[in-house]
Amino acid sequence: MRSPIVLCESGHSICQNCREKVEVCPICKGEYPGIRNRLAEDIATHIALQRCKNDNRGCQELVPTNELDVHEADCPYRLYLCRMCKGRVIFHEMSDHFEKLHPENVMKNGVPRRVTIREVRPDCSYTYQIDAYERLFWFWRKNAGDLVHLGVQLVGNPRNHTHFFYRLEITSPDRETQVVFNAPVHSENERGPALITSSKCAVVSAELLDQGAIYSVFISQYENLEPVENSESNL
């Protein structure tokens, strides 16, 4: 039972989930004047255990009502929209989905990878999947004229992104130029345009990437470490 729990004219209670399915009280056919049953809401919030809405896809968790929204936002059985093909995939199957259907967009944490941008357009963007610490991350790249913006986002509960930071190294093919950027991992809820305008992501020359630059992304977890400040350097 999810709040709000309301009373009909005769005093019968109904929770939000059921209320959305009916116009009148299923017991007495009375109207709902909008009076809430605070006692029932308090009991449901602190005592009652609820099934996750993803139980039809395999989730067997029973969660206190006041924790249900947090659980469902990070439930491994929730449906998730693939950034590449726009298909809806059960979240815990997303890694296999990328490995099978989008292998060219899979990166390994800390493993260098050569990437060449063959056509730089302002409206062009790319996304790569990285698995680390039993979590899923997006490494994204957005072209903007002669510049390219890059960053790492944690997929799932936005409360957890503060647990991680990343180091991005971009090295020219001749290894004479290297750009290094350190920053906290961003929440998936932070949109690309907002990250770009707030200067929270890496910015490099498209010319460097046109040459067939080598990317290395290192995702780490904070362990009593001070947060890494944004930095850029040319070596």
Predicted TM-score (pTM) of the model is 0.67
pLDDT at position 233 is: 36
The span from the CA of 48 to the CA of 44, in Å, is: 5
In the structure encoding, which two tokens stand for residue 145, read together? 């004229």
In this structure, are 58 and 141 located in the same domain? no
Same domain, 142 and 221: yes
Residue pLDDT, tens place only, 102-156: 998 898 888 877 765 555 555 567 788 998 888 889 998 887 778 888 889 988 7
Same domain, yes or no: 134 and 227: yes
Q: Please check whether residue 129 is in contact with residue 104, taking contact to mean a CB–CB distance below 8 angstroms.
A: no
In 3D, which of 81, 95, 67, 57 has the Cα closest to residue 2? 67
Same domain membership, residue 62 and residue 127? no
Question: Residue 93 falls within a domain, yes or no?
Answer: no
**184 within a domain of the structure (yes/no):** yes
Q: Structural domain of residue 36, as residue ranges?
A: 6-72
For residue 35, the model assigns a pLDDT of: 94
1 occurs within a structural domain: no
Residue 129 inside a domain? The answer is yes
Does the pLDDT value for residue 210 go beyond 70? no
Q: Do 183 and 108 have their domain in common?
A: yes
* pLDDT attached to residue 168: 92
Residues 204 and 151: beta-carbon distance below 8 Å: no
- Mean of pLDDT over the chain: 82
Question: Which pLDDT score, from 0 to 100, does residue 174 have?
Answer: 81
Based on the fold, state whether residues 47 and 132 are members of the same structural domain: no
Amino acid at 232: E
In a domain, 89, yes or no: no
CATH code at 152?
2.60.210.10
Tokens standing for residue 224: 């009593």
Number of Cβ within 10 Å of residue 129's Cβ equals: 21
136 domain residue, yes or no: yes
Residue 59 has pLDDT above 80, yes or no: yes
Residue finishing a domain among 72, 92, 119 = 72
Number of domains in the chain: 2
Can you tell me whether residue 45 is helix, strand or coil?
helix
Q: Which two tokens stand for residue 37?
A: 């049953």
Indicate whether 187 belongs to any domain.
Answer: yes
Kindly state whether residues 107 and 218 are assigned to the same domain.
yes
Task: Kindly state whether residues 110 and 153 are assigned to the same domain.
Answer: yes
What single letter denotes the amino acid at residue 85?
C
Residue 128 pairs in a beta bridge with 139
Same structural domain, 37 and 131? no
Where helices occur in the chain by DSSP H, the ranges are 16-19, 38-46, 68-73, 94-101, 192-197, 206-210
Residue 121 belongs to a domain: yes
- List, for residues 10-49, the tens digit of each pLDDT value: 999 998 888 989 999 999 999 999 899 998 888 777 777 8
